[in-house]
Amino acid sequence: MFSAELPAELPATLSAELLMSNRRILSLWFPRLGAERLIRAEPDLWGQPLAVLRDSGQMQLVSSLSPEASAAGVHLGQPHRDAQALCPGLLTRLQNPQAEAAFLATLRRWAVQFSPWVAEEAPAALMLDITGCAHLFGGEPGLIDAVQQGCAGLGLTAQAGIADTPGAAWALARFAGRGDMPMFRSGDAIDQEAPATRVRAARRRHWTRGGPAPQLASKGSAGGAAGAAIAPVGQTRTALADLPVAGLRIDAETQAHLARLGLRRIGDLAGQPRAAVARRFGKGLMLRLDQALGAAAEPITPAREAPHFAVRLTLPEPIGLREDIEAGMLRLLERLCVLLEARGKLVRQLRLQAFRTDQSMQWVEVGLARASAEVERIRPLLAMKLDEIEAGFGIDMLRLVALRVEEAGQQRMSGPLEAGHVAARRRQSGAALEDLIGRLGARVGLERITRLHPADSHLPEKTAKVMAAPWAEAHAGPWPVPATPRPLLIWRPEPVLAPGSPYPPGVFRWRGRDLHLELAAGPERITPQWWLDDPDWRSGVRDYWRVTCREGPRLFMYFAHGGDMSAGWFCQGSFA
């Protein structure tokens, strides 16, 4: 028997490694995710040189490659015209970031079989906390073998790295064991070139003295051969020492500056004085280094799996007639409502997706003023939108998704008589109005339908506040009666051509009409809110009058006594 005591104070990195020794992280990187997603969707692309292009300003750049395209010399970030000249038989497709993000989310759900703690790392990687999981696969090598076999079965290229921290696993997955690691060389690198060579290096082509050093990196591979790297427990620093500083997840400009100083590997950077490095490159670089070595915490936050309510109908033959689409929609809606009722949910917003035979898709969305799971309340709204769907060469699949759901209230069984009373109460409670709001919203948009609620203010234009009708309940109780009558319609003040007297003029001109005074009631003096700077109230104190004209209009007018703006008469509303 023996005992050993650790020193009271340990170096920061050593103590962090001891604290993190029980945590194991797997970084799974898909270097060809964009291209292989398209190959899975279009099997004819298999074995062909394929490049996925993304728009960048006035040009298109390569964002993902198939192995055949990489073997032909095409590399990531290369302009389309250069890639096409290098590989005349190159096939290209435009990047779909939304589809790639959805595919990555699908892979996250697939990876749950290896660990319950999986997080997405956009745009093409997953991070798994495999603490306590590796023994189920015969150890960490067995776990990596199972992951790579699963990826191979899906037709995906994957590179994996396991370490004590997410940052170290990220670096190992991308740079461990690679012969084409990005290395920056400069004429000031003493350990690379002789003194006479360093003098000539300043005259290298495409390099200016004092500028960033030229980058010597292989352009033939998007991510190297599929493989894996495992850092032993507690040996994170040793495993990262020979990896390039790009493994710290820093930008290319910082990498170039570090290379000019001769700091090309993580081990070189870790041995430098922290204060000097932080002063020159900022705290972000040291944070990345600490996260990789375990001195700074970096949690993995998996996406919360939200309840998913969707139904799909795959058609044996493409359809294009509106009647056929409506029939399929009705079948989907009935199934979806049954699913929602079984889970005690009500739907507020739905999306109907129509997948065409040419691999394109179109959708329409509808919203309900009141959440429901009744087919007859939702069907008319969807039917109004079907004319917007263009069948093209035919629709071979329909999908109905509940985008927003709410909890349903407690329900109980009832007989026919009680059900009739419930329906009557529902009609009296304004359900018909809510159905009308839903139908109008399907045409003009729910956000354009508003309702008013009373507000506590002495200013005429602020006695009511505008609420979104679909999501705001109607005001309960009678509308508050103001101390003095308020007009039915209120608008922003409009100038009136009239004499500058504070008393109502006998004749005035408003909206291009000459009006004659018949009756005037007032004045009601209202002062502006001194704590707010309202541009409409810069005319100072107002004296409001209820003016009846001989021609018929009953107007809500006021005389502004002047402030930041000159005095005068204005019209702000109408009583009829």
354: closest CA among 404, 403, 394, 310? 394
Residue 12 has pLDDT above 80, yes or no: no
Q: What is the pLDDT of residues 230-262, one digit of tens each?
A: 999 888 898 999 899 998 999 989 999 999 988
The CA distance from 389 to 367, in Å, is 17
pLDDT of residue 442: 63
pLDDT tens by residue, 417-439: 665 655 565 555 556 666 676 66
Do 245 and 257 meet the contact criterion of CB atoms below 8 Å apart?
no
Residue among 512, 494, 497, 502 nearest 571 (CA): 494
Q: Which of 367, 392, 386 is nearest to 378 (CA)?
A: 367
Interval 56-72 mean pLDDT = 91
Query: What pLDDT score does 330 carry?
Result: 92
pLDDT of residue 35: 92
pLDDT attached to residue 482: 80
Per-residue model confidence (pLDDT) at position 501: 87
Partners of 54 in beta bridges: 61
Q: Which two tokens stand for residue 182?
A: 């990005």
- 443 falls in which pLDDT band (50, 70, 90)? low
Q: Which tokens belong to 245?
A: 């500083």
What is the C-alpha to C-alpha distance for residues 349 and 401, in angstroms, rounded to an integer? Answer: 9
Tokens of 7: 């020193």
359 closest CA partner among 399, 390, 400, 397: 397
Instruction: Give the number of other CB atoms < 10 A from CB of residue 103.
Output: 20
Q: How far apart are the first and last CA of the chain?
A: 99
Q: Where are the alpha helices (DSSP H) in 224-296?
A: 236-240, 252-260, 266-270, 274-281, 283-293
Which is it for strands 542-549 and 450-454: parallel, antiparallel or unpaired?
unpaired
Average pLDDT of every residue of the chain: 81
Query: How far apart, in whole angstroms, are the C-alpha atoms of residue 287 and residue 165?
Result: 13
When pLDDT is averaged across residues 167-195 and rounded to a whole number, the result is 63
Region of poorest pLDDT, from 63-72, 465-474, 480-489:
465-474
The percentage of residues in the chain with a pLDDT greater than 90, rounded to a whole number, is: 36
Half-sphere exposure of 539 (CA within 13 A, CB side): 16
**Cβ atoms 122, 100 nearer than 8 A:** no
Q: Using CA of residue 512, residue 517, residue 521, residue 524, what is the dihedral sign? A: positive
pTM of the model: 0.54
Residue 523: cis peptide before it, omega within 30 degrees of 0: yes
CA 447 – CA 449 distance, rounded (Å) = 6
Averaged pLDDT for residues 444-456: 75
Q: Containing H/E element for 352?
A: strand 345-356
Instruction: Give the pLDDT confidence of 144-178 residue by residue, as tens digits.
Output: 999 999 999 999 999 999 999 999 999 999 998 76
Beta bridge partners of 361: 355
In this predicted model, what pLDDT tens digit does every residue of 503-538 receive, in sequence order?
899 999 999 899 999 999 988 998 888 787 777 788
Coil/strand/helix, residue 88: coil
Name which residue leads in pLDDT, 199 or 478.
Answer: 478
Query: Is residue 2 pLDDT above 60, yes or no?
Result: no
SS3 labels along 456-514: CCCCHHHCEEEEECCCCCCCCCCCCCCCCCCCCEEEEEEEEECCCCCCCCCEEEECCEE
- The answer to whether 70 and 48 have CB atoms below 8 angstroms apart is no
Percent of the chain with pLDDT over 70: 80
- The residue behind tokens 């899975």 is 40
Of the listed ranges 214-228, 246-260, 298-312, 349-363, the one predicted with least confidence: 214-228
- Residue 179: the pLDDT is 53
- The 10s digit of each residue's pLDDT in 102-131 is 899 999 999 999 998 899 988 899 999 999
What integer pLDDT is reported at residue 327 of this predicted model? Answer: 92
Structure tokens at 268: 């070189």
Average the pLDDT over 312-341 and give the result.
92
pLDDT (0 to 100) of residue 445: 67
Query: What is the DSSP pairing of strand 513-526 with strand 507-510?
Result: antiparallel
For residues 332 and 397, the answer to whether their CB atoms sit within 8 Å is no
pLDDT of residue 304 exceeding 80, the answer is: no
pLDDT reported for residue 308: 81
CA distance 302 to 91: 36
- Between 409 and 476, name the one with better pLDDT: 476
